Amino acid sequence: MRSVNTPRPATRTDVARLAGVSDAVVSYVVNSGPRPVAAATRARVLDAIHALNYRPNATARALSRGMSDVFGMLVVDARNPFFAQLVYAANRESSAHGHSLMTVSTGGSPLSLDEQVDELVARRVRGLISVHAFTPRQIERLRGQGIHVVVINQPAATPGIPSVRVDLPAGARTAVEHLIGHGYRRIGFVGAAEYRSAREHGWADAVSAAGLPLGPRVLTEYSLDGGYDAGLQLLQLEHRPDAVFVSSDQMSMGLLAAVHAAGLRVPEDLALASFDGVTESAYLWPPLTTVRQPVAEITAAAVAALVADDDDVDVVLPTELVVRRSCGCPP
Amino acid sequence: MRSVNTPRPATRTDVARLAGVSDAVVSYVVNSGPRPVAAATRARVLDAIHALNYRPNATARALSRGMSDVFGMLVVDARNPFFAQLVYAANRESSAHGHSLMTVSTGGSPLSLDEQVDELVARRVRGLISVHAFTPRQIERLRGQGIHVVVINQPAATPGIPSVRVDLPAGARTAVEHLIGHGYRRIGFVGAAEYRSAREHGWADAVSAAGLPLGPRVLTEYSLDGGYDAGLQLLQLEHRPDAVFVSSDQMSMGLLAAVHAAGLRVPEDLALASFDGVTESAYLWPPLTTVRQPVAEITAAAVAALVADDDDVDVVLPTELVVRRSCGCPP
DNA sequence: CTGAAAGCGCTTACAG
DNA sequence: CTGAAAGCGCTTACAG
């Protein structure tokens, strides 16, 4: 059972009393403003803070300021390694700016996206990093609450809202061009229905530009199982592709499992180029040739946009093709 | 640039005014208590809430109650798939109980564990789910702030603090016994220095009980790279083991990469049994035989302990050996 | 440079 | 069943 007398944490008033100053002065030194404090006074306050092990109550501050110092982050599923790395990086980046991060995996919740955003709004998060696009109505609502928003990794910028993204079609194109350079002539595509366009267009452009016919296209889910399924479908085809561009490393991992289970080999029976460049991609067999998204730079730019509060930001970051063995390159 | 006149969100007073009642009554209906409200009044309030799209301000509520409705969660690194799954499950479980979850990956932060806990304390989190053990001093401090704590996945219970765990040695034992059943006689161990004892003891017990000599033991980091390194070390040994028990699926993934890179095969050249049972383990090549930890049950019990506020809880959950191909079993 | 005081949006005894 | 009022721990004009 819980012990009876729980000593309450020190408050700003306790500190003020001990230091012999007013509450306001304690606030001034804790926040380094907005008014100046004499050096001697400041020292006394600091001593008192230390002696009492005082930590400002973040909820009181949030109420008073009308805004917390928490950022919210919306991803589809933080178990996907790419999102996991984004969240991890965003966490570090937010901390560096004195903010905490509250992450929600929107997929797999019984609540709608709007309801999940509402929860964050109720907590008065100061900013929101979202991999979901928002409708003008949603943006208006968020803005009405004074919440800054930045949308990341969407194929295109939403007007009037800061966005940080990567040139998805260009990234896909470099991967497919690399596959073409290997001499593969029948290049398939695996992607997800919802986000199909950007990466798929990159694939289609590269294939067409090389004067080749479009290979088979499989649309599935962004998941391990989706990738596995896609692999199965591809392998069952009467006329199999000799290479495939897969829209995410997680899908590639699933697809690889399907190929192995069929007793076939990558790249000999089916070459593969992937997208994301998560750490795991180097540890799969074979190691993935993949388009690396600059996770640290994405989150850094996103947090910067939140902090700067400039709605006209549209940062487009470059991707980088990481060549490993799944495409057929030598070790 | 941001639009000028941001309409402020509706407050409880707005609702009260519209419904023609006092602020207190709005509170009573929002919280279904602590005082009863007449049905007709209640209906008017609900209408007003709806009309104004009112959402209670969570920060004001937290200040007033002295406690937020947020749970904190401490993991080492949420990019590790096992932790990612724990976090995901804890998130869902918390939501089901009306709580939000704020997760922090303690590794890789420049802050100490104490400092990271302090941040959560400053936010007045109501409870804390931690994969780290706490010292009596830390527990005392947390308790002093009225914060409930539950420690998960530690090898042993901390007296006076609720804990939810798995029988680590028993789990390891079943995996190693399975390996022994295959006829392997020289069985190695891969684990991490910090948590070595529990899983390592299980391995050692099973090996000794079978009258076999202990195979080589490699201590490294809980990471992909740690697993890769361990694989390298094992393969360089003059007298290689014919099987190995690896302490985590993430490490196993790294080790598998090392084996493949060396042109060797699992299980033919080195059989493998792993620990955790993350989703990914089924998609590796070969699929991992692994000791599955009941992630959903762990988080459910942890949240239940937090909600119940009973310090004497010590839940020990069973693991389950999932047999796949890495141990040498047929597909 | 410092302090007294109002206010942030809630909750909760206390009266009625 | 309902309301007036104090209080949670901060911040921030406003005076001095």
Longest dimension (CA), chain A: 85
- The yes/no answer on whether domain A168-293 falls in CATH 3.40.50.2300 is yes
User: Three-state SS for A315?
Assistant: strand
Gap between the Cα atoms of B15 and B53, Å rounded:
9
Q: Provide the CA B24 to C1' D3 distance, Å, integer.
A: 7
A65 touches strand D (CB under 7 A): yes
Domains B67-166+296-317 and B168-293 share a fold: yes
Cα gap B98→B90, rounded to integer Å? 12
pLDDT grade, residue A196 (50/70/90)? low
Give the mean pLDDT of B184-207: 90
Q: Is B248 on the interface with A (CB under 8 A)?
A: no
Could you tell me the residue ranges of all domains in chain A? 12-56, 68-167+296-319, 168-293
CATH class (in words) of the domain with range B12-56: mainly alpha
Residue B5 has pLDDT above 60, yes or no: no
Distance from CA of A59 to the nearest CA of B (A): 5
What's the one-letter identity of residue B117? V
**What does DSSP assign to residue B205?**
H
Burial pattern A123-150, b for ≥16 Cβ within 10 A else e, equals bbbbbbbbbbbbeeebbebbbbbbbbbb
Specify the pLDDT at position B158: 86
pLDDT in tens, A257-271: 999 999 999 999 999
Q: How far apart are CA B233 and CA B252, in angstroms?
A: 14
Q: pLDDT tens-digit profile of B121-155? A: 999 999 999 999 998 888 888 888 889 999 999 99
Contact B55, A121 (CB under 8 A): yes
Find out whether A139 and A160 touch, Cβ atoms under 8 Å.
Answer: yes
Backbone phi, psi, residue A153, to 5°: 60, 20
Phi, psi of A134 (to 5 degrees): -120, 150
The answer, yes or no, to whether the previous bond of B36 is cis (omega within 30 of 0) is: no
Pair B316, B166: CB distance under 8 Å: yes
Residue B267's CB: how many other CB atoms inside 10 A?
20
CA distance A198 to chain B (A): 27
Question: What's the pLDDT at B195?
Answer: 57
Q: Is the separation of the CB atoms in B101 and B90 below 8 Å?
A: yes
Which of A245-259, B99-113, B263-277 has the least mean pLDDT?
Answer: B99-113
**Contact across the interface for B88 and A111, Cβ inside 8 Å:** no
* Distance between the alpha carbon (CA) of B161 and the C1' atom of D5, Å: 40
Cβ–Cβ gap B3/A81 under 8 Å: no
Q: Rounded to whole angstroms, how far apart are CA atoms B316 and B110? A: 33
Task: Please confirm whether the linkage preceding B286 is cis (ω < 30° from 0).
Answer: yes
CB within 8 Å: A92 and B102: no
Subset of residues 57-96 in chain B with CB less than 7 angstroms from any atom in strand D: 60, 63-64, 66
Question: Across the interface, do A144 and B58 touch by the CB < 8 Å criterion?
Answer: no
Q: In CATH, what number does A68-167+296-319 get?
A: 3.40.50.2300
Share of chain B above pLDDT 70, in %: 97
What is the C-alpha radius of gyration for chain A, rounded to an integer number of angstroms?
25
Q: Which two tokens stand for residue B204?
A: 């050692």
Instruction: Classify strands A320-322 and A289-292 as parallel, antiparallel or unpaired.
Output: antiparallel
CA dihedral (A254, A259, A263, A267) positive or negative: negative
State percent of chain B over pLDDT 90: 81
Residues A232-259: pLDDT tens digits? Answer: 999 999 999 999 999 999 999 999 999 9
Number of Cβ within 10 Å of residue B72's Cβ equals 25
Those of residues 102-141 in B touching chain A at CB distance below 8 A are: 102-105, 108-109, 111, 118-119, 121-124
Number of Cβ within a 10 Å radius of residue B28: 19
Chain CA centroid to CA B10, Å: 37
pLDDT per residue as tens digits for the range B50-88: 999 899 999 999 999 989 999 999 999 999 999 999 999
DSSP states along B75-121 = ES-TTSHHHHHHHHHHHHHHHHTT-EEEEEE-TT-SS-HHHHHHHHH
Q: Could you tell me which residue, B288 or B8, shows the higher pLDDT?
A: B288
Whether the CB-CB separation of A187 and A172 falls below 8 Å is answered with: no
Q: What is the CA radius of gyration of chain B?
A: 25
Please list, in sequence order, all residues whose beta carbon lies within 8 angstroms of the beta carbon of residue B169, skipping any fewer than 6 positions away.
Answer: B155, B198, B199, B201, B202, B205
Over residues A135-149, the mean pLDDT reads: 86
End-to-end CA distance of chain A: 60
Write out pLDDT tens, residues B301-311: 999 999 887 78
For B67-166+296-317, CATH number?
3.40.50.2300
Average pLDDT (B154-166) is 91
Asked if residues A178 and A323 have their Cβ atoms less than 8 Å apart, the reply is: yes
Q: How far apart are CA B279 and CA A84, in angstroms?
A: 15
DSSP A138: H
CA–CA separation, B228 vs A225, rounded Å?
25
- Asked whether the beta carbons of residue B143 and residue A3 sit closer than 8 angstroms, the reply is yes
By Cβ distance, the residue of B56, B87, B144 closest to A78 is B87
Phi-psi region of B171 (alpha: psi -120 to 50; beta: other; left: phi over 0): alpha
Name the nearest CA neighbour of A272 among A264, B26, B30, B325: A264
